[in-house]
Structure 1
């Protein structure tokens, strides 16, 4: 007896739906498809109009919403250039730079040539967008590590989409994911608000060289803050990893602090090289003189993630001796120390991506700090609380993102 073929249905399903799902090419679910085009940049009659012209960078990662056009074209551009007017509620699919991004656009728009748009959809538009998003994310992962920079519009249209025949089931699935997206967006906004509030607190709770008191202060603390040189509140670390006490090579990320270099850069460091590295223990600080966007004077970070590790001698390392360590860590999260680095950096300060400042000049940099240790502790505690809340919010966001990935796997075929 021939075996009865299994029904084509997802692993997780809403109650009451039992019908088989249908399989079609993407080309068959839209009444119309659109490519894109870029109006001539030299023709001023085409630009600074009021019609949205979308690029890949205008679409957010891992969501079908959050499209923010940054450029606008004129009606002339739509009439006589390669740009096309695409009706609202169409699906914009990135085909080249940024493959994997997909969005349901709620307004009339045009795109660069890096897009394919599907209009006049024959199935629920939200369901179709989520399904195509899943398809294109898989495509993007397959392209990683290859020299191929995109996918042709023909290949996109030949891809298969599997969907429930019942539009009601399509709506149920897409509505659940839309709600999850809403909660994720809400968490992202709250996380960003916390980060901005922390940034504002750091500016108000600390003072720079030209001030003696902060703008925001705890009750019962009234005395002026004092200028101190870094060399008087810390000790330089020169200990070497001579006995290979640690095989964990560290690097300093302005965003993530002291992190494992092999994971961060995805490359190994020879153990012979590590023998001459600086040996750092948990709680030690290091200065990365390399500048980057948003960090014009490098980054100073504390080793928190590991018990010990080793660091290139290109960095300057030190240990706090006469100041609260948390207070100092938060101080270096502000820009209050930039002026001192600028003052001490030699002429022609930028050399091969590094600031030209000697260790001696670095340790002669001045900080303005409370003389009362209790005030240092209180400031450190409130910023630590902000960090804790930010971590909790980030964990919630990670869990929600994981939930969304699970739903995309189980609710779709």
Structure 2
């Protein structure tokens, strides 16, 4: 009767780490009544203060949930646009098209429209943690938010990706993409594709339809080869139509990124409030 339920709910979230220290170290870890009986918490005596704190955090939780739904809707919109604006292997024209564009799209092998460079790992003795050395991209762990996220550096140059080129993972998980936001050395886990932003979006459709998954399924280490990438059949259209598709996809991608940032800020705010509203 002396504690507001909603306040207590968020208090237990705040105390999660301390509660986990009470978990028994057995085959089936559990919290015992005896352990909980020794667990003390701090809370304001006035129910009015508890209600203000609980209500504030509840409203923030509701806002975070709404923003998560909005992000999922934007992701689904982007996925639908990729499916509608690009041509799959069974068709010659897209399902949706800009006005005044007609005719079938042309089929090519990827190597006919872009240069593919497979990565080659430097010697491990040349790896460093010095940001003044060359950034090394070895796989998905070095890519974040579809960009290079420096984690390891090297003194040795083997193969490179240049700023503005496409990076694609060739080992599990296969087919994930990033746009190089800097020059970097590339290891065996990735390939560099000297293509434009239109090709970047087109390759996203290959991840969606599980093209790479099917190619790598027979591989021991779930990987794809240089020939798999170079011989990939793609369909392209005239330059002006490609530019319009790219512009539209850039716009929806911008809103997806913006929404992710909004959600991150709200999550950070909740963490800050939990740390500062409780003792």
CA distance in 2, matches of 1:326, 1:182: 36
**Per-residue deviation at 1:210?**
1.8
Identify which of 326, 329, 333 aligns with 2:197.
326
2:113 corresponds to 1:247 = no
Q: Of the candidates 77, 83, 88, which is equivalent to residue 203 of structure 1?
A: 83
How far apart in 2 are the matches of 1:131 and 1:339? 44
| Structure whose residues are more often helix by fraction | 2
Q: Say whether the 8 Å CA contact 1:227–1:369 is kept in structure 2.
A: yes
The residue aligned with 2:111 is 231
* 2:134 partner SS: coil
Question: Within 1, Cα distance between the matches of 2:205 and 2:2?
Answer: 53
Partner of 2:220: 351
1:125-204 to structure 2, matched below 5 A, reads: 125-137=5-17, 152-153=31-32, 154-204=34-84
- Contact kept, 8 Å, 1:258 with 1:303, in 2: the verdict is yes
- The offset of 1:412, in angstroms, is 1.7
Q: 1:284 aligns with which of 162, 165, 172?
A: 165
* Residues 138, 188 of structure 2: 8 Å contact kept: no
Number of equivalences: 266
- Report matched runs for 1:37-116 at 5 Å: none
- 1:368 aligns with 235
8 Å Cα contact 1:278-1:312 kept in structure 2: yes
Give the Cα–Cα distance (whole angstroms) in 1 for the partners of residues 265 and 68 of structure 2.
12
Shift of 1:363: 0.6
- Is the contact made by 1:240 and 1:275 (CA closer than 8 Å) also made in structure 2? no
Contact 1:250/1:310 (CA < 8 Å) preserved in 2? yes
Alpha-carbon distance between aligned partners in 2 of 1:341 and 1:239, rounded to the nearest angstrom: 17
- Gapped runs of 5+ residues in structure 2? 127-131
Q: What 5-or-longer segments of structure 1 have no aligned partner?
A: 1-120, 263-267, 293-297
CA distance in 1, matches of 2:133, 2:116: 19
Greater share of residues in strand: 1
Q: Call closer, same or farther: CA 1:409–1:163 in 2, change over 3 Å.
A: same
**Hey, what does 1:410 align to over in structure 2?**
276
Identify if the C-alpha distance between structure 1 residues 137 and 386 changes in structure 2 by more than 3 Å, giving closer, same or farther: farther
RMSD: 3.3
* Equivalent position to 2:255, from 374, 380, 389: 389
More relative contact order, 1 or 2 (CA 8 Å, 6+ apart): 2
- The 3-state SS of whatever aligns with 2:206 is coil
The 1-side partners of 2:18 and 2:162 are apart by 42
For the residue of structure 1 that corresponds to 2:205, the secondary structure is coil
SS at match of 1:163: coil
Aligned CA distance change for structure 1 residues 302 and 133 (closer, same or farther; 3 Å): closer
TM-score (norm 2): 0.81
Who is 1:309 aligned against?
184
Cα separation, 2, equivalents of 1:332 and 1:281:
18
Computing the radius of gyration from Cα coordinates, the structure with the larger value is 1
SS at structure 2 position matched to 1:160: coil
2:171/2:190 contact within 8 Å kept: no
Closer, same or farther in 2 for the Cα pair 1:359/1:139, shift >3 Å? Answer: same
Counterpart contact for 2:121–2:188, Cα < 8 Å: no
Using the size of structure 1 for normalisation, the TM-score is: 0.57
Matched, 1:275 2:137: no
